[in-house]
Amino acid sequence: MKRLALVGFAVLVCLGVVGCNLYNTPVMPPQGWIVSNIKAPLSADNGGVKVNEQQKMGMAEVENYLGIISVGNCSIEEAADEGNITTIDYADYEYFNVLGVYQRFTVKVHGN
């Protein structure tokens, strides 16, 4: 019986560890244990485009509550539609987290 319980526990731990990487973006800076507030580009060079404050910007986001419920659409297409953008120059993102109780992931698209 102890052996069965130990094997069951080991399987649960393995499944938990495997699931940890499913929710990360391709590039994720280090996160804080209590609060994370991260802003980063979605590509390394932004396609060679310089940041221009006169460009349009659109945002799309997903919010997560208690690590159980996620609501929203953070696709690049949604962000472009929200900003009335037809030509996308580059995209970046923001990630905000407080103890895993509240999380917000926002994609920002810049273009014309």
Residue 85 near residue 111, CB atoms below 8 Å = yes
Q: Which two tokens stand for residue 80?
A: 């472009």
Instruction: Please state the domain extents for the chain.
Output: 27-111
Stated pTM of the model = 0.68
Residue 98 near residue 110, CB atoms below 8 Å = no
Question: Could you tell me which of 38, 42, 79 has the C-alpha nearest to residue 60?
Answer: 79
In this predicted structure, the answer to whether residue 16 has a pLDDT above a threshold of 90 is no
In this predicted structure, the answer to whether residue 21 has a pLDDT above a threshold of 70 is no
Q: pLDDT (tens digit, 9 = 90+) per residue, 46-93?
A: 556 666 677 899 999 999 999 899 999 999 999 999 999 998 888 889
Whole-number Cα distances in Å, 46 to 38, 58, 60: 17, 16, 18
pLDDT for 22: 42
Q: pLDDT (tens digit, 9 = 90+) per residue, 25-36?
A: 556 677 788 998
Question: Could you tell me which of 12, 35, 31 has the C-alpha nearest to residue 23?
Answer: 31
pLDDT for 105: 94
